[in-house]
Structure 1
Amino acid sequence: MNAFFLVDGNGNVLDRNFSSKMEPGADKKLSKAIAACGRIYLSISPKQFRYAAFLRRNNTQVFIFRFGRHLLGVVTEVGAQNPDTDRMAKEIFAILSKEKT
């Protein structure tokens, strides 16, 4: 995992952890993108939204999960060493679901 961002619906960063490899200003752009994508998916299907994922040009993938009233964005590198993305997303979703109970 390269980074995680916990953001509110407006893209304000509530917590984050990212590697120094990220390009300058990427954290602000990512937090806004996480919020925008999360809002879109939540408006389409708020009860069935599990996670969303998108690829970035720099060979990273961003997963977006609902975390209470906030959104959790997890940034990973896409590559041969990474586990299957569906499996990884399901594992993160399972962890977040356990936290709700």
Structure 2
Amino acid sequence: MSAAALGLLVGLPLGVVLHRGDFCMHSALREALRRAPGPSVRAYLLALAIQLAGVNALAGLGLLEVSPPGVAAVAAALGGVGFGVGMVLGKG
């Protein structure tokens, strides 16, 4: 299975759940910095732990190649700008 197909298979359901749950990364980080970490921070850490375990399991089974041949600096910069624009538009 290609990395793009796997990303869609995992990313779409996760996106739907995060959207339906009104999860906001900015709010979670603000919550963690201003007071004791609450449910938003725990949800983020749980998602991170699941992702780490999932990627390592898929790589271990040979279903996912995790070592790309190189990093395209222009693509990374454009992706960062696109992400930033999306965060501003989403008021995140």
TM-score normalised according to structure 2 size: 0.29
Higher strand share: 1
- Structure exhibiting the larger radius of gyration computed from Cα positions: 2
Higher helix share: 2
